[in-house]
Copies of this chain bind each other. A is one copy, B any other.
Amino acid sequence: MHCDRVRLPALLDKVMTAAEAAALIEDGMTVGMSGFTRAGEAKAVPLALAERARQQPLSISLMTGASLGNDLDKQLTEAGVLARRMPFQVDATLRRAINDGRVMFIDQHLSETVEQLRNHQLKKPDIAVIEAVAITEQGHIVPTTSVGNSASFAIFAERVIVEINLAHNPNLEGLHDIYIPTYRPTRTPIPLTRVDDRIGATAIPIPAEKIVAIVISEQPDSPSTVLPPDAETQAIADHLIAFFKREVDAGRMSNSLGPLQAGIGSIANAVMCGLIDSPFEGLSMYSEVLQDSTFDLFDAGKLAFASGSSITLSARRNADVFGNLERYKDRLVLRPQEISNHPEVVRRLGIIGINTALEFDLYGNVNSTHVGGTRMMNGIGGSGDFARNAHLAIFVTKSMAKGGAISSVVPMVSHVDHSEHDVDILVTEQGLADLRGLAPRERARVIIDNCVHPDFRAALNDYFERACQRGGHTPHILREALQWHINLDETGRMLAS
């Protein structure tokens, strides 16, 4: 039974039910689970854990790669399992618990979690739960649609539960490239100099005896919730592509641009889709998540290679891509998120990083995470890993939200995830602000003239001009700096209508 999926015969007697495996997770444990952008998460064991917690209270500290699919964070939250959670999430129920202070959420740069574990800055997982398409003859774990932090979790944990998911195409084997940086103080350079370099193993190398349970599941990944491009995301894509053309014309980039990174979500996906009809050729991606647009670009003959940490597709693309994986496989690689997001590699390759802002301010500071400066949305994710070291750090957002109640361009952001030092280009459907080499007062002028919605332009300009009269390198009027956010909180609109 499942001999093709569990190829080390000695492990076959570890096959058990999800409930039996979940029983290995004890109250108070730190647990590391697979899963990144709702791809490749262990599915059966977390569900069994939630089920068990409904009978018999238990709480754990849960680390993952990034977000989980299949409503697992919801189930675990509702069952009261989560005392602590890191480093990212996207679930509405968990988000409420985080914002109520019921779950302690540690929002981290996605490249850093396993570095902190390796260096004893965080408590290592007692147990890891990793989804796999197979266990090799050596007892090594072949991940599914994401690598995330799975490799380091399995290496650091004393015990490992493997979920063999029969819903995944076994042909995923060979797609992964598992490289783990060596320990300090004798760490050597990460030997990756091209997006298509393979520098590691195709499976997670752990001693087979650490595998204490194998659970068979058949639940597929959740489909991506990405929305198709609309007029505004199309306008954002158009502005950005026109900018890339100017960069190419000016000799600052080649016609294959640089390795592209695009954050999760509809706007970044729309921007990538916009490249299908662009004049650029031989594109490459060095990103975290590979979305529909990656495969649309492959099919259009525009994309030469894509490196990521996960593949998250819509219902539209899922069956086609994974059913015909051999069509793409030699142009794809999935890496640990530590490597897909590593500052060393991002800086070396000269990545063009495209990420979504919640809001940005006059001077180009970006808030990616906190609504009203207080309420967590999802987390910083990899945006900081990329923006800090990118060749071009680009942030995109629609200029307004909530039907015009909210301007995404504000006098002062209510929370800073990316300071002006790390932001090169801002784009809304209104236009593009190129901030490179500009001082704050110059940045403000360019942002007001290009990115703000006309409904808010006069008010923002008025703030800026009055602030300048008071002086300062970065002029502000502290009494008014957060007033738009206060208005929104108190009246439902940033400005009186």
Contacts and interface: CB of A to CB of B under 8 A. Distances in A.
Given A436-B122, A482-B481, A474 B350 contact: no
Contact of A349 (B112, B184, B251): B184
Interface in A72-118: 84, 98-101, 104-109, 112, 115-116
A258 interface: yes
Contacts of A191: 189
Given A184-B391, A389-B343, A421-B380, A473 B375 contact: yes
Contacts of A416: 365, 416, 419
Interface string A355-386: 00000000001000010111110001000100
A385 to B, nearest CB: 9
A252 interface: yes
A461 to B, nearest CB: 16
A342 B389 CA distance: 10
Contacts of A116: 436-437
A479 interface: yes
Given A100-B471, A101-B441, A187-B193, 8 more contacts: A107-B421, A116-B436, A122-B437, A184-B258, A189-B191, A189-B348, A344-B347, A373-B478
A104 B439 contact: yes
Contacts of A107: 421, 473
A188 B184 contact: no
Given A101-B441, A374-B470, A439-B84, A184 B419 contact: no
Contacts of A471: 99-101, 374-375
A474 B376 contact: yes
B104 A442 contact: yes
The 7 closest A-B pairs by CB, nearest first: A374-B472, A189-B189, A376-B473, A416-B416, A104-B439, A344-B344, A184-B350
A497 interface: no
A474 B122 contact: no
6 contacts: A101-B475, A104-B439, A116-B436, A122-B437, A343-B388, A344-B348
A415 interface: yes
A120 B251 contact: yes
Interface in A179-223: 184-191, 193-194
Contacts of A372: 472, 478
A347 B481 CA distance: 36
A493 to B, nearest CB: 15
A382 to B, nearest CB: 12
Nearest to A346: B343
Contacts of A187: 193, 348-350
